[in-house]
Amino acid sequence: MDFLIPCVEKFAQKYEIKEIELLYVEGSENTSSVRQKLSKTINNDFGLVYDITELPVENSAQSLGAYIDRNKHRALIGAFHPSFKENALMYPIFQESTIDTMLIWTKHQRSIDTIGVVASGGFNDPQALKIATKCLDPGEQVPLLMLEEDNSFNSEIVGRQAVNDLLDESGVNKDKVQARVENLDADYESLSYYFNKVDLVITGAENSKDLSKWSDHKRFPLVGLLKRAPKMAVAKRITQWIPHLSPRAYADLVLGLRRGSVLTSDFMVMLGLAAAIASFGLLQDSAAIVIGSMLLAPLMTPMIGCGLALVQGNARLGLKSSKTIAVGVALTIGVSFLVGFTTPGQELTSEVMSRGVPNILDLFVALFAACAAAYALARPNIGGAVAGVAIATALVPPLCSVGIALSYGKIPTAFGAFLLFSTNLVAIILGASITFNILEINSMQMQAQRNTWVYKALGALASVLIIFAIPLGLELERNINLGKPSPNLYPVAKHVTKSIVDYIESLPDVELLLHGRPGSDSDPTDVMIILASSQRMPKYYIDDLTDLVRRKMGDAKLVIEVHALRDGWRDENLEKRAQKILEKRDQALEEKIKEKIEIKLEKEVEKQVEEEIDKEVDKQIEKKVELELEEKIEEEVQDEIKNELNKPKKQIPTK
């Protein structure tokens, strides 16, 4: 009590507290002896009123926690037992207390004139600096010792940055702090200058182990181990556990969201590129490319900006963010539609189709991811988590799935993907507004009076979310009943499918059950086709299909498997279709035979005509030759006769 009461009076004077309740454990002392010791220790000049209360000895720490909860105390100051100095956070009072708690640890009694702070980056350090700053007199500074665990040549730079982060976190002006950086492994002699000028060191309870190695020195000051509210085991007031923003962090958040919510050329260029990358990734069924596009897309920032606009009642920011979102949605769908339209020979991949069947789990993912994004943006030290949030919410891939599905005429898939995006949009805005409200990032106008349009907007968004939850919940139930989907076959290109279907339709009594590319990398088959028929199928079906697929896919070495199932069904419609195919085939055969007969007849007629003509020509030639021959013979005869007449007659001798 000799060192505890001066500490209490010091803080009571600075915090303008007039009533103090002194608690002690039953059996340790009686009330009269405690009051007698108290009268010898207190300083009556402060005018404090003390009330003494006895706690039961059994489960005294739990009784203390319950008592504090009932009486709503502002702070608790007590004595610390050094047996817990290796892990002070396990001290029962720290475990059960639900308010700011500081336990005094000392071996040497001394007066309290100067209060310093020892920090090492713990989560209680900001509250310790706030309390020490509150106890300053005008013109004084808090001696701050930052223990840095880095041992490199740049440890001073790292420590100074840690000091700046601590000032931002606590909201304390740097003019009120005299900071010095030392190595965590320094000995007492190196730090004696600091311990010699402070009488009470306030530090986070997690730093007790670091301070214990210096506590045996006679000049070592009193140590106030601090644990901020709430109770560590189970937080009874969860909002006290969430840190509030420093003025600098608040300004960075608000200005960053304002800049990111404005429609600029940079926004459109980055979103357009992200949409193109996501579209090609979806068409290639590549999850890695799709994830990369999520990191590039700036579409989440204006959505978080809408949440901030609702919390602050900032209609202008809400309109700017809404305009940016609308243009971004149209741009993304347009780019993806163009990519899908100009990419021939592709079927909808599993990446696209999976976004066409959202369920209520996607709603919860978006809601919690929005809370995480808003919190990460508000806390500069965890800003890197925003990238993970962008991947979790996946805003651009659903919109790209809408454009690709529309380009292929798959309206149900496009509708499902747009429902997924709309769910993410509403959940992100509501989740961000809830998180910002918990962090108390609201304007003075909103604190004084809520705007009517804010209530209407929140009500409309909540109603839309409830309406979306109905079909999403039904889809989840359907997925549970159907079981977890795992694709065994991936679709082949459109032109290959069309060729296979056309060929199968020309075969009687044959049904195409399944075809595609095997989903397992260990399967050497490139394309698998499964047929069914009520009759035995000839082997040339397999050969024809194999040649057809290889020719259409442009690779003669593809491994094609064609499986034939016999008596797989008894379908009257299929039998009728087979009968029609046979009739159509017979009719086509008859027409073909008739056509061939007509062609043959025509050819025979033509041949006969040609033969008649040839005969007539031969006759004419023969007749002409005969005439010429007769004329020649006649000429020769006449010539002979003439020659004979021209010969001289012989003299016949007379007797």
What was the pLDDT predicted at 312? 82
User: In the structure, what pLDDT confidence band is assigned to residue 238 with cuts at 50, 70 and 90?
Assistant: very low
CATH class name, domain 489-570:
alpha beta
Written as six digits, the tokens of 321 are 């963010």
pLDDT exceeds cutoff 80 at 235: no
Average pLDDT over residues 642-651: 68
pLDDT in tens, 240-249: 455 566 666 6
Of 157, 534, 186, 490, residue with least CA distance to 346: 490
Asked whether residue 379 carries a pLDDT value surpassing 60, the answer given is yes
Band of pLDDT at residue 624, cut at 50, 70 and 90: confident
Q: What's the rounded Cα separation, in Å, for the pair 156 and 162?
A: 10
pLDDT at residue 598 in the model: 83
Backbone angles phi, psi at 654, to 5 degrees: -95, 150
Q: Which two tokens stand for residue 86?
A: 């290796």
Quick one: which of 103, 100, 98, 110 has its CA closest to 85?
103
Mean pLDDT, rounded, for 206-232: 70
Please, which residues bridge with residue 226 across strands?
A: 102, 204
One-letter amino acid identity for 347? E
Closest by alpha carbon to 103, among 203, 25, 189, 229? Answer: 203
Confidence of residue 329 (pLDDT cuts 50, 70, 90): very high
**Mean pLDDT over all residues of the chain?**
77
What does DSSP assign to residue 243? P
The CATH class given to the 247-482 domain equals: mainly alpha
Contact 349/284 with Cβ under 8 angstroms?
yes
In this prediction, residue 11 carries a pLDDT of 67
Q: How confident is the model at residue 539 (pLDDT cuts 50, 70, 90)?
A: confident
Which of helix, strand or coil describes residue 124? coil
pLDDT category, 161, cuts 50, 70, 90? confident
Cβ atoms of 414 and 337 closer than 8 Å: no
pLDDT for the residue 448: 42
Whether the predicted pLDDT of 17 surpasses 80: no
Please tell me which of 203-212, 263-272, 288-297, 345-354 the model is most confident about, judged by mean pLDDT. Answer: 263-272
The answer on pLDDT for 101 being more than 60 is yes
Class of CATH domain 4-241 = alpha beta
Q: What are the residue ranges spanned by the domains of the chain?
A: 4-241, 247-482, 489-570
Statement: residue 10 has pLDDT above 80: no
Can you give the pLDDT at residue 285?
A: 80
How far apart, in whole angstroms, are the C-alpha atoms of residue 89 and residue 227?
Answer: 8
pLDDT at 330 over 90: yes
High-pLDDT (> 70) share of the chain, %? 71
What pLDDT, on the 0 to 100 scale, is given for residue 447? 44
- Please state whether beta strands 75-79 and 100-105 pair in parallel, antiparallel, or not at all (unpaired): parallel
The predicted model gives 134-146 an average pLDDT of 85
The arithmetic mean of pLDDT across residues 439-455, rounded, is: 62
d(CA 60, CA 26): 9
Lowest mean pLDDT among 24-38, 271-285, 357-371: 24-38
Confidence of residue 323 (pLDDT cuts 50, 70, 90): very high
Q: What are phi and psi of 441, to 5 degrees?
A: -95, 75
* Dihedral class, residue 158 (left if φ above 0, else alpha if ψ from -120 to 50, else beta): alpha
pLDDT category of residue 148 using cuts at 50, 70 and 90 = confident
Q: Which of 19-33, 152-166, 388-402 has the lowest mean pLDDT?
A: 19-33
| 129-142 burial code (b ≥16 CB/10 A, e <16) | bbbbbebeeeeeeb
Contact 93, 101 (CB under 8 A): yes
8 Å CB contact between 127 and 226: yes
Average pLDDT rounded to a whole number, residues 499-521: 82
| Whole-number Cα distances in Å, 303 to 307, 392, 464, 608 | 7, 15, 16, 89
Residue 65, pLDDT above cutoff 90 = no
Q: Got the DSSP string for 186-208? A: --HHHHHHHHTT-SEEEEEGGGH
* pLDDT at residue 653, rounded to an integer: 59
What are the Cα distances from residue 277, in Å, to 317, 336, 347, 396, 587?
Answer: 30, 9, 18, 10, 53
pLDDT for 260:
85
Question: Is the pLDDT assigned to residue 338 strictly greater than 90?
Answer: yes
Instruction: Taking residues 229-235, report their average pLDDT.
Output: 48
Closest by CA to 259, choosing from 226, 308, 329, is 308
Give dist(CA 95, CA 112) in Å, integer: 27
Angle at CA of residue 454, ends 451 and 457, nearest 5°? 150
pTM for the model: 0.53
* Higher local confidence (pLDDT), 246 or 372: 372
